[in-house]
Amino acid sequence: MSARITLVRGDITRQRADALVNAANSSLLGGGGVDGAIHRRGGPDILADCRRLRASHYGKGLPTGQAVATTAGRLDAHHVIHTVGPVWSPTEDRSDLLASCYRESLRVAAGLGARTVAFPAISTGVYRWPLDDAARIAVDAVRGALAAGPEGAGAVARDLDEVRFVLFDEVAYRAFDEALAARG
């Protein structure tokens, strides 16, 4: 059976889930918005893991659209999955990079055996992606990953119970609610 997609309004750092997704930047060394909140509440172990990643596999930082896991520190989760959303561009279509953040995060989550994964609305803050469009891309990407066949993302469909979008305010919540209803 395919995982449920759920919506809640709230602060992602207050959620309980196997994996919480961070809207990181490519430095992996912290920032504002979700990133700042996750490091503040999660404590220094997350940053220590991020520094280790920078010193090993990700010397140049985490590329846009990719995802990587660390400890969740003091958060009520087993893992934080860091992904780097694209900055919104009015002249270049970066939708596939945004979709990739969701797909890759789910792939990493599935590889860790996570059953519940919580996402923020990636790229809709400092990176300025229009909410309605970002919500449509997010919902399509998650649905696509959950529906995918036996290879690749198929493992996601098999093992996940819930993919939760955690929306910080009412406007974001409504955008995701409409995206879910439109294609439900």
What residues make contact with ligand ADP under the rule CB under 6 A?
11-13, 23, 32-35, 37, 85, 120-127, 166, 168, 172
- Residue 33 or 154 with smaller CB distance to ligand ADP: 33
**Which residues are the active-site residues?**
35
Q: How far is the CB of 50 from ligand ADP (least distance, A)?
A: 16
Q: How far is the CB of 123 from ligand ADP (least distance, A)?
A: 4
- Residue 86 or 156 with smaller CB distance to ligand ADP: 86
Q: How far is the CB of 75 from ligand ADP (least distance, A)?
A: 11
- Residue 12 or 110 with smaller CB distance to ligand ADP: 12
The token duo for 21 is 């997704």
CA–CA separation, 167 vs 165, rounded Å?
Answer: 6
Helix H or strand E segment including 4? strand 4-9
- Residue 11 or 92 with smaller CB distance to ligand ADP: 11
Classify each residue of 15-54 as buried b or exposed e, where b means 16 or more C-beta atoms within 10 Å of its C-beta.
bebbbbbbbbbeebebbebbbebbbebbeebbbebbeebb
DSSP 125: S
- Sheet strands (E) in 85-161: 116-119
Q: How far is CA 112 from CA 62, 79, 106, 151, in A?
A: 19, 9, 10, 17
Q: How far is the CB of 68 from ligand ADP (least distance, A)?
A: 15
